[in-house]
């Protein structure tokens, strides 16, 4: 990403849920400032809630002074406090409308092996080019101008960029999952750091498992939000009872968001399998039928499973009562996590 920024000739569009004032954030800020001084048009869109404790105003002032256009998404306002709860969770970098990066990576040191060591977050990001980069630029521009549900006029080819809120459907991602779970003939492999699914999504997974589909879910054992972990585990029992296999990733925080269905369909992007991504936040995902990418994401899934522990139904049924109480509390708060 930094190399692409350094090579930019005309424009850079960057949106991130977190843009931290740390070693990584300052390095990105320096790279953006250098290109701005060289005459490249740069726009940076940062979520106000996501970067609340990460990006102090001094970093913003520095970027503005260097000619970088900075915009905060849904800053707190007493006039409309509920808007603060709907966030821009998208993470995308578009350079010269020729390259686009998207996925789970925020701009912070937690993703850096050099700075955070072997405990760095396990995440997935992709780089794309061609028409997808042009579409990503148009999606960024529309969002920047307040067109929250705008989508490019495109067919479902090998690759497509998909927001979760469109003019045709307010819950497009949820509907897409439902269709894919229903149509699956062999396997459904899901990786998500925050697993707080609505009842329709749970029913789709249970139904697929009951008709013999190999349904596996990979979630973190370690995470950065305890309440979300409790809410996720509240849903385990019904899924395990239907034959869904659940694994908890052990080495470090798992932040990747991927889905692979039947070897020939996959999705990677910013959306978690939770209430926020399905109903509230703005997300951006790549839906693909590219054989190589599907194969890579499937292979990565099984590599992660090798470092995970399966949650067994018998063990889950005998967990302590205090854990069940914590899980119920987390589930009650699921819409706000």
Give the pairing of strands 195-196 and 92-95: unpaired
Residue 308 has pLDDT above 70, yes or no: yes
Q: Give every CB contact of residue 68 below 8 A, 6+ residues apart in sequence.
A: 32, 33, 36, 42, 43, 44
179 part of the active site: no
Among the options 89, 108, 125, 165, which is catalytic?
A: 89
Helix/strand/coil for 256: coil
Among the options 125, 165, 257, 274, which is catalytic?
A: 257
Tokens representing residue 97 in the block: 């409308």
Instruction: Output the pLDDT for position 328.
Output: 67
Instruction: Output the pLDDT for position 255.
Output: 96
| Band of residue 148 on the pLDDT scale cut at 50, 70, 90 | confident
Contact predicate 107/19, CB 8 Å: yes
Instruction: Identify any residues that bridge with 71 across adjacent strands, giving them in sequence order.
Output: 45
**Gyration radius from the chain CA atoms:** 20
Q: What is the pLDDT of residues 215-261, one digit of tens each?
A: 999 999 987 667 777 777 778 888 999 999 999 999 999 999 999 99
Q: Give the other-Cβ count within 10 Å of 43's Cβ.
A: 18
Among the options 198, 262, 274, 304, which is catalytic?
A: 262
91 part of the active site: yes
Instruction: Output the pLDDT for position 301.
Output: 98
Residue 310 has pLDDT above 70, yes or no: yes
Among the options 45, 74, 91, 125, which is catalytic?
A: 91
Q: If you write DSSP's letter for every residue of 154-202 in order, what string do you get?
A: ----SEEEEES--SS-TTHHHHHHHHHHHH-SSEEEEE-SSEE--HHHH
Residue of 184 and 322 predicted with greater confidence:
184
Cα gap 226→229, rounded to integer Å: 5
153 part of the active site: no
Give the pairing of strands 214-220 and 187-191: parallel
Residue 334 has pLDDT above 70, yes or no: no
Angle, CA 141 vertex, CA 123 and CA 102 arms, to 5°: 10
257 part of the active site: yes
Q: What is the pLDDT of residues 120-129, one digit of tens each?
A: 999 999 999 9
**Token pair 């190999």: residue:** 214
| Band of residue 54 on the pLDDT scale cut at 50, 70, 90 | low
Q: Across all residues in the chain, what is the average pLDDT? A: 90
Lowest mean pLDDT segment, chosen from 30-44, 76-90, 281-295: 76-90
Which domains does the chain show, CATH number per domain? Answer: 2-144 (3.30.870.10), 166-336 (3.30.870.10)
Among the options 45, 74, 125, 255, which is catalytic?
A: 255
45 part of the active site: no
């Amino acid at each position: 990403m930094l190399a692409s920024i350094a090579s930019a000739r005309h424009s850079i569009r960057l949106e991130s849920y977190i843009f931290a004032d740390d070693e990584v954030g300052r390095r990105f800020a320096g790279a953006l400032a250098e290109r701005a001084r060289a005459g490249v048009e740069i726009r940076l869109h940062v979520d106000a809630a996501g970067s609340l404790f990460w990006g102090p105003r001094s970093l913003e002032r520095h970027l503005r002074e260097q000619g970088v256009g900075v915009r905060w998404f849904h800053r707190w306002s007493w006039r409309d406090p509920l808007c603060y709860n709907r966030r821009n969770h998208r993470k995308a970098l578009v350079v010269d409308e020729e390259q686009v990066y998207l996925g789970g990576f925020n701009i912070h040191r937690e993703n850096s092996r050099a700075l955070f060591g072997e405990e760095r977050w396990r995440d997935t990001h992709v780089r794309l080019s061609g028409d997808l980069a042009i579409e990503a630029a148009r999606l960024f521009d529309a969002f920047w101008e307040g067109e929250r549900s705008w989508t490019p006029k495109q067919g479902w080819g090998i690759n497509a960029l998909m927001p979760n809120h469109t003019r045709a459907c307010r819950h497009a991602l949820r509907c897409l999952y439902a269709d894919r779970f229903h149509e699956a003939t062999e396997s459904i492999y899901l990786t998500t750091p925050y697993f707080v699914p609505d009842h329709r999504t749970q029913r789709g997974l249970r139904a697929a498992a009951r008709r013999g589909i190999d349904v596996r879910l990979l979630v973190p054992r370690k995470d950065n939000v305890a309440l979300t972990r409790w809410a996720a585990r509240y849903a385990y029992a019904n899924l395990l009872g239907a034959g869904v296999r659940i694994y908890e990733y052990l080495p470090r925080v798992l932040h990747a968001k991927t889905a692979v269905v039947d070897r020939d369909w996959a999705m990677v992007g910013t959306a978690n399998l939770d209430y926020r991504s399905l109903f509230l936040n703005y997300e951006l995902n790549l839906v693909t039928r590219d054989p190589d990418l599907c194969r890579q994401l499937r292979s990565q899934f099984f590599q992660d499973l090798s470092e995970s522990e399966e949650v067994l139904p018998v063990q889950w049924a005998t967990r302590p009562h205090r854990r069940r109480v914590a899980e119920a509390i987390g589930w009650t708060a699921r819409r706000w996590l």
